[in-house]
Chain A
Amino acid sequence: MADSIPLSGAIDLTPRHKQPRLYLEVMHDWIVTTDHKKIGLMYIAAALLFMLVGGVEVLLMRVQLARPESTFLSPEKYNQLLTLHGTTMIFFVAMPVMFGFANYLVPLMIGARDMAFPRLNAFSFWIFFFGALLLYYSLIGGEGLYGGSGVPDVGWFAYAPLTERPFSMGRGSDYWALGIFISGIGSIGTALNIVVTTISMRCKGMRLNRMPLLVWLMFVTSIMVLGALPPLSAAQIMLLIDRYLGAHFFDAQAGGSAVLWAHFFWIFGHPEVYILVLPAFGFANEIIPVFSRKAIFGYPAMVAATVGIGFISFTVWAHHMFTVGMGAAANTAFVLSTMIIAVPTGIKIFNWLATMWGGKIRFTVAMMFCTAFIFQFTLAGLTGIMLAVAPFDWQLHNSYFVVAHFHYVIVGGILFCLFAAFYYWFPKMTGRRMNRTLGRWHFWLFVLGFHMTFDCMHIPGLLGMPREIYTYEPGHHWGVWNMIVTIGAFIQAIAVIIFVVNLVRSHFKGKPAGNDPWDAWTLEWATTSPPPTYNFADEPMVRSRRPLWDLKHPEDPDWKYESHAENEMAAQ
């Protein structure tokens, strides 16, 4: 094997369509497409759309909570918004946007021409999208029996028996169960697709230990989806059988078990947190090294930590249930498993710091978001340790402290990485750069709003404020904190509007980006921006984890170091 890597020849120079086309033709193109990049973009666009919807929902809730005894929303409306916000953000924003990026990036990064099952890919997207629409159809679908709520109003984890017929007479719980169940079919399809693609579609030389970390994390995430989502789908089917066919799976008064629902939900629900956070780690794993100008520190440890988190995340679910009345022994077991998962997570944080150590850090907007991510995710992990301490959790559980904790993970951790990913890969996806000034406004406003909202949200939890309440009394002194939280939420909303404006504006008017605007090292930067259909004309060949580094630095290629390290391993 010589040093001549056929990367430059990998670029497909087929001329692209330039003739103006009818909107109908363009739409037809998108609807029937099986191209992984178009499907990825549709996933991302749908997720952004639902993010705006979920954001408006939470702003309404925050107005209601800004002051004690507010009557801005009725309790019924508040509980509906609460359920829609949680369900939307998890199932219709966070998961699809991760799948969107995975769809777009995984084939490019492993040098493949498409996903393994392109038509399954298209099916998965559309079934997800229609599942999400089904949930929102509940808003206009009528109330069902006895004036019960037609819109889901049972909270995003929908504990039984509140969801059973006697306590949820309208159609709300049906829409909730069916909407998520149907979109879950799409999630399973896409996850399967990513797993198969990663296993069987890698280009020459792309061995498992040379895969970009993002691909590793998407791979582990997808395996976790295959393990975690079926319990939820099963439980939702059982719930529908309870509601329509008179079964009693979760109906405690007729001999069923309500706590069984909690187990089913959280054996899905906790791995789900890692399903969302691992792709975010994946973004950080690509962006931090490129802008620190250094290889990722401890690649094997990063992979091992990821796989470790994947396994352990299936053993921690009952830490959501420390208060349901498990015995001391069961509580102890879940304290241990939950604390252990902090170790691989800590390894990741230290490895990112070590990657930045000794580098020449370029603070692009993407890198700013990644840096803030490390800071915030550390804090979120530490409040997670507090919640893992079962007796502390007996106080904190279902309080605003928990709400603050998981928003710190999902917004402070995941969403920050996601914004970084947008700024980083937007040039690849569109061929244009995003505006830097708007990006900085977005970053600083979002940081300000985020910390006002979610730092201050911890305090009313410590002062005894439970979650999921539509109002509260003035005497508890929760009011000042809630007012700050609400103001912060609106600042974040302004920042998100700036971000969306930046996306749209840059799409039409952004500076041309070229193929490799960041001087990066993974395969997606070897092709044009945006990449042509089928990505690569010839199959690329790689000899190390950073094929473009090898190409740019023939005097000091990675493969020399890597083969040396392998020989050392073999010698031991």
Chain B
Amino acid sequence: MKYICPGTMHSSNWIGMMHGHHGLRGAGQTIAAVFSAIESGFFQKLFTSSTNIFSPQSAPAHEIFRLSIFVLLVTGGIWITVTGLLLFVVVRYRQKPGDDEHEPAQIYGSKQIELAWTVIPILIVVVLFLSTVRVIFYIQHAPEPKQALNVSVIGHRFWWEFRYPGYGVVTANEMHVPVSSDRSHPLPTYLKLATADVNHSFWVPRLNGKTDLFAGQVNDMWIEPEKTGLYLGQCAQFCGVQHAKMLIRVYADTPAEFQKWIAGQEKPAAQDPAVAEGRAVFEQNACINCHAVKGTVAKGRFGPDLTHLMSRDTIAAGAMLNTRENLERWIKDPDAYKPGCLMPAMHLSDKDVDEITSYLVTLH
């Protein structure tokens, strides 16, 4: 079985992203210079990931990134100071073979020095606190522009449901949003996050930090991808046996592509008479208790909506590529690919599985 992960689809090196940012540019460039020196092929690969928090591609992620670099510089300074002192003390004051037997001078404390290393840390804390507060309010209190897209994200064990309330579109695991490449006309996407069962957490590192889908409450967050392409993430709050394979794919499309995608999703399901038998098997089995296909008797909501199944690249919440062979294997024995997942094997005959699959692959 093949997993899907586009890896370096974008330049997602954490250093590369530091060029051309406002604020802290000098510090960023210095670090970038240091790193680019050691950044030969091997190192580049080690620090490159499609889910790198240090290669932001979205306004809130940029803000977090800039704050993070500032905090890293401050803490780095403290670290060098303390470690330097420790090294000095260890080397300078270690007992040497020729030392006399006398005890060293006993010093019990010093009010001035102790006051200094109380007050200076307090000042550092004030600076860190104020810069943190600014970013908290920038991200949590960002006013929602009129043109923003709204998406409801519903966490399920172990997959994601995405509902587009403005369009009546329902899909699973793969969210499409418009890219926001024009700064004068931002196109952010505002997410309402809720869960159908236990707690989950929505985390696509390059678009924003994570926000939990906590049982009994609705949370908000927003993303604003700047470049088209695929952004990966996954559930970040332990939700049970298949927590590890609850993957998220966010596709940032050009506005035109996005409208085209929406138009496709708004259509009712394809009805191909050639696969009527497969459809009959699907509708006469328990499949429809959990899955919905718009315009048919299948109205279940426990599992992913299959109306436009074939418009998605993956199945099983990103665990497998969406191909006919994989679909067939998955229907036969989901547990073999995602042990503990909630979709049962229906113990269908090979012929029935074949027919259902034939039906499903027409759902474009």
Contact = CB atoms under 8 A, between A and B. Distances in A.
Contacts of B52: 462-464
Contacts of A397: 209-210, 236
Contact of A464 (B53, B64, B79, B103): B53
A353 B214 CA distance: 44
B286 interface: no
Given A299-B109, A328-B136, A391-B64, A382 B78 contact: yes
A386 B103 contact: no
Contact of A392 (B5, B71, B93, B99): B71
B118 interface: yes
Interface string B1-29: 00111110000001000000000000000
Interface string A320-359: 0001110110011001100110110011011101101111
B323 to A, nearest CB: 17
A204 interface: no
A230 B126 CA distance: 34
Interface stretch (A34-42, A159-167, A309-317): A159-167
A462 B52 CA distance: 6
B181 interface: no
Interface stretch (A101-109, A274-282, A425-433, A476-484): A476-484
Contacts of A342: 121, 125
B339 A375 contact: no
A515 to B, nearest CB: 19
B225 to A, nearest CB: 16
Interface in A382-426: 382-383, 385-386, 388-399
Interface stretch (B146-154, B198-206, B275-283, B352-360): B198-206
Nearest to A477: B49
A323 B211 contact: yes
Given A301-B109, A385-B75, A252 B117 contact: no
28 contacts: A159-B198, A159-B238, A252-B216, A253-B215, A259-B217, A292-B93, A293-B103, A294-B106, A295-B106, A301-B109, A325-B217, A332-B132, A339-B129, A356-B89, A358-B93, A360-B94, A378-B82, A389-B67, A390-B136, A391-B67, A398-B210, A398-B237, A459-B46, A463-B47, A464-B203, A464-B233, A469-B243, A470-B244
Interface of B: 3-7, 14, 45-54, 63-64, 67-68, 71-72, 75, 78-79, 82-83, 85-86, 89-90, 93-95, 99, 103-110, 113-114, 117-118, 121-122, 125, 128-129, 132-133, 135-137, 139-141, 157, 193, 197-199, 201, 203, 205, 208-212, 214-217, 219-220, 232-245, 339-340
Interface of A: 69, 74-76, 79, 153-155, 159-162, 166-167, 252-253, 256-259, 292-295, 297-301, 323-325, 327-328, 331-332, 335-336, 339-340, 342-343, 346-347, 349-351, 353-354, 356-363, 371, 374-375, 378-379, 382-383, 385-386, 388-399, 459, 462-478, 480-481, 553, 556, 558, 561, 565
